[in-house]
Amino acid sequence: MFKRKGLIAIIAVFALVAAACGSSSDGGSDESAGEIGLVFDIGGRGDQSFNDSAAAGIERAADELNINFNEAAANLDGSNREELLALQSEEHELVFGVGFLFDVPMAAVAAANPDTNYAIVDGFIADAPANVVMLGFAEHEGSYLVGVAAALKSTNGHVGFIGGVQIPLIEKFQAGFEAGVASVDASIVVNVQYLTLPPDFSGFNDPAAGKVVGQAMYEGGADVVYHAAGGSGGGLFQAAKEYAEANDTHVWAIGVDSDQYLTAGDAAPYILTSMLKRVDVAVYETIAAQIAGEFAGGFSTFNVANGGIDYSTSGGFVDDISDELEAARAGILDGSITVPEAP
């Protein structure tokens, strides 16, 4: 599909990751409402979290808005983000970068391609060109809600938070979670641990590390642990399952970004809820605006009020506390609850 002739090796690799190409929803028509490119961050499809949520949004757009799309994923060290954005720009009218680490690469590519529009998930670009929209989320609001759930379900008075990488973005999750827990019972202990510190971002894609930290938290007395660690969260789920089975007890994990109960396999019975960061909604709505000729650069924020942030109910494990959770949601909506964004 791409025409850059001097980069044979790069094109060969790109062809592999671009094979999952969306088709128009009419089942074969050559006419499309738009050509969209999307570049996942490290881990790509299959992280059962952030990237998969973006994938769900573009697939919905393919089904409902009759767009064609092409996707790629950053390599393990993320060094080819700019290269992939540039390749996607050659034949697409709107290109997404999924993750805040696309900020510098997207700033460069967008400036060089003023006739293409761009959207960055979670990223901030200072003095962003007019053809870039920055898609942000009120993660602290959703984290508050699952913090309330954790406190209500804890029988030990002891819960945990695992962050993938200690950066301000992930500290928003921590802050909301701690505030939600404290709103129920300020005496509950909240253990906090991050898997890595910048510039090491491997904490977002290290299930083994997530499992080790999760095991330590359960062994230390926590009976509910919330993660904001991307693909590393799969390790936490296995830790919950193994600890519970080995000790003839039941502990909970809380997922993030997507409804992780649906993708956790045999660990699903241990997932209390998930904080839903609706990257899928942001991707879909941005594509819809592009098709309608209403794309606007700048900031676009998704929160509890506009359906961009929520919590999952799969498994029915929070059904018995739904009144309390909905009261917390109402407080956020009417402004009687102000959720902090920093620990």
Of 259, 256, 252, 199, the C-alpha closest to 229 is 256
In this structure, how many other beta carbons lie within 10 angstroms of the beta carbon of residue 343? 15
Q: What is the pLDDT of residue 31?
A: 62
Residue 194, pLDDT > 70, answer: yes
pLDDT-above-90 percentage for the chain? 86
**Average pLDDT of span 288-304:** 97
Look at the alpha carbons of 287, 291, 297, 300 in this order and tell me if their dihedral is positive or negative: negative
Residue 64, pLDDT > 80, answer: yes
Q: What is the pLDDT of residue 47?
A: 81
What's the pLDDT tens digit per position in 124-157? 999 999 999 999 999 999 999 999 999 999 999 9
Two tokens, residue 40: 């996942």
**Average pLDDT of span 18-24:** 39
Distance, in Å, from the CA atom of 35 to the CA atom of 168, rounded to the nearest integer, reads 34
Residue 220, pLDDT > 80, answer: yes
Residue 162, pLDDT > 90, answer: yes
pLDDT-above-70 percentage for the chain? 91
For the chain, the structural domain boundaries read: 8-137+279-302, 139-276+313-334
Distance, in Å, from the CA atom of 255 to the CA atom of 235, rounded to the nearest integer, reads 11
The CATH number of domain 8-137+279-302 is 3.40.50.2300: yes
Q: How is domain 139-276+313-334 classified at the CATH fold level?
A: Rossmann fold (3.40.50)
What's the pLDDT tens digit per position in 31-58? 677 899 999 998 899 887 889 999 999 9
**Average pLDDT of span 277-282:** 95
Residue 198, pLDDT > 70, answer: yes
Distance, in Å, from the CA atom of 280 to the CA atom of 238, rounded to the nearest integer, reads 26
What's the pLDDT tens digit per position in 228-262? 999 999 999 999 999 999 999 999 999 999 899 99
**Average pLDDT of span 320-328:** 98
Band (pLDDT 50/70/90 cuts) for residue 9 is very low
Q: What is the pLDDT of residue 253?
A: 98
**Average pLDDT of span 93-106:** 97
Band (pLDDT 50/70/90 cuts) for residue 2 is very low
Band (pLDDT 50/70/90 cuts) for residue 100 is very high
**Average pLDDT of span 299-303:** 96
Backbone angles phi, psi at 113, to 5 degrees: -130, 70
CATH topology identical between 8-137+279-302 and 139-276+313-334: yes
Of 328, 285, 248, the C-alpha closest to 137 is 285
Residue 66, pLDDT > 70, answer: yes
Distance, in Å, from the CA atom of 224 to the CA atom of 153, rounded to the nearest integer, reads 8
